[in-house]
Amino acid sequence: MPSTTVSLDDVVLEAAAHLYVWALKDIPQDLRDALAAARQRETSVTGIRVLETISRNVAIAHEQQNLVCQDTGIAVYYCRVGEHFPLHPARIYAALEAGTRQATVEHPLRSNTVHTLTRESTGPNVGYRVPIVHWDFVPDWDGLDVKCVPKGSGSENMTFLKMLVPADGVAGIKRFVLESIVTAGGKPCPPGIVGIGIGGSADYAMHLAKEAIARPIGSRNTDPVVARLEDELYGLLNETGIGPMGLGGDVTVLQCHIEHADTHMTLNPVAVNYQCWAARRASAHVAADGTVDFDREA
Ligand code: SF4
């Protein structure tokens, strides 16, 4: 319903608070389907047991309206802002920060944020430059899309960047991705989504890898050359035998997503970011009149 009394700042704040908690409790259907399919194709007894435990965990979280994992992560938001959306990005950021704070205090959620050197708590999942917000600006539009992707530390710690040289080619990219996932082993709570960013610059490749993990599972890059590499790496990574929780098995990753950018002729950056089985995400579409549509699957 359009709001006549609530400011757009408050609408975005409440949407952010809802998204953060919702994402932590109710994982998207495509992730549920991918976990169920993984259970069907897993042949290792231990792997099956792990996947059945994950499935029971998701069901109990649903029944008891509780979190699918205790790690409430770091709050990451992806915003697509229409050029005619009436709230300036500075105020959108303030609303996302206040919504994250509100959700953490009111639920209550575990607070994870600390000063990176002193390790002292900086507040209810907020701090200097936290939450982390990525921006896209859309011409000829007056809406706002917000996607919340809480990111657990177990998987975030398994992040890798390498500045390959062009002569390393696609073979070098594949080798580095395989080395990264084998190095990660069971630490990022597999099976999850491997996000890969290729091209651009060092920082942009990492940004792209992060974007890749937030896509619906099994979606494919629109560039057929990149999509073929997604298919190939998905197959290769599942031949590593790492298996669910690193205890051995057929299913090491649920999917492999790649985002790419064109790059300098002497660059070949590759970034790998892992998203654990609890690949949480939830979205809201905010209209200029304050109407909000929530979307768990976007
Ligand atoms: S990596 Fe994911 S599943 Fe593992 S503890 Fe962290 S949030 Fe939970």
Q: What's the CATH code of the domain at 97?
A: 3.30.1330
What is the residue-level pLDDT of the chain in tens, covering all 298 positions?
454 578 999 999 999 999 999 999 999 999 999 999 999 999 999 999 999 999 999 999 999 999 999 999 999 999 999 999 999 999 999 999 999 999 999 999 999 999 999 999 999 999 999 999 999 999 999 999 999 999 999 999 999 999 999 999 999 999 999 999 999 999 999 999 999 999 999 999 999 999 999 999 999 999 999 999 999 999 999 999 999 999 999 999 999 999 999 999 999 999 999 999 999 999 999 999 999 999 988 9
Distance 137 CA to ligand 1 centre (A): 31
Domain assignment present for residue 201? The answer is yes
DSSP 216: P
Q: In the prediction, which pLDDT does 297 show?
A: 86
Q: In the prediction, which pLDDT does 134 show?
A: 96
Q: Is the CB of 126 within 6 Å of ligand 1?
A: no
Q: In the prediction, which pLDDT does 114 show?
A: 98
Distance 221 CA to ligand 1 centre (A): 26
If asked whether residues 147 and 284 sit together in one domain, one would say: yes
Q: In the prediction, which pLDDT does 204 show?
A: 98
Beta strand 159-164 pairing with 76-82: unpaired
Domain assignment present for residue 62? The answer is no
**Shortest-distance atom of ligand 1 to CA 276:** 2
Q: Is the CB of 189 within 6 Å of ligand 1?
A: yes
Q: Is the CB of 237 within 6 Å of ligand 1?
A: no
If asked whether residues 290 and 262 sit together in one domain, one would say: no
If asked whether residues 148 and 288 sit together in one domain, one would say: yes
Residue 192 to residues 7, 128, 273: CA-CA distances in angstroms? 39, 29, 11
* Runs of H (alpha helix) within the chain: 8-25, 29-41, 45-63, 89-106, 153-156, 169-184, 202-213, 224-237
Preceding omega of 131 cis (within 30 degrees of 0): yes
Rounded Cα distance, 54 and 74, in Å: 22
Answering whether pTM is above 0.75, one says: yes
If asked whether residues 213 and 73 sit together in one domain, one would say: no
Where in the sequence is the domain holding 108, given as residue range(s)?
8-23+69-152+280-295
Distance 1 CA to ligand 1 centre (A): 36
If asked whether residues 228 and 207 sit together in one domain, one would say: yes
Tell me the best of 27, 159, 189, 280 to mutate to test the pocket of ligand 1, counting ligand atoms within 8 Å of each CB and taking the most. Answer: 189
Domain assignment present for residue 1? The answer is no
Domain assignment present for residue 268? The answer is yes
Total domains in the chain come to 2
Domain assignment present for residue 58? The answer is no
Domain assignment present for residue 30? The answer is no
If asked whether residues 254 and 157 sit together in one domain, one would say: yes
Q: Under a CB-based contact definition with an 8 Å cutoff, are residues 217 and 230 in contact?
A: no
Distance 152 CA to ligand 1 centre (A): 5
If asked whether residues 147 and 172 sit together in one domain, one would say: no
If asked whether residues 98 and 113 sit together in one domain, one would say: yes
Q: In the prediction, which pLDDT does 4 show?
A: 53
Q: In the prediction, which pLDDT does 51 show?
A: 98
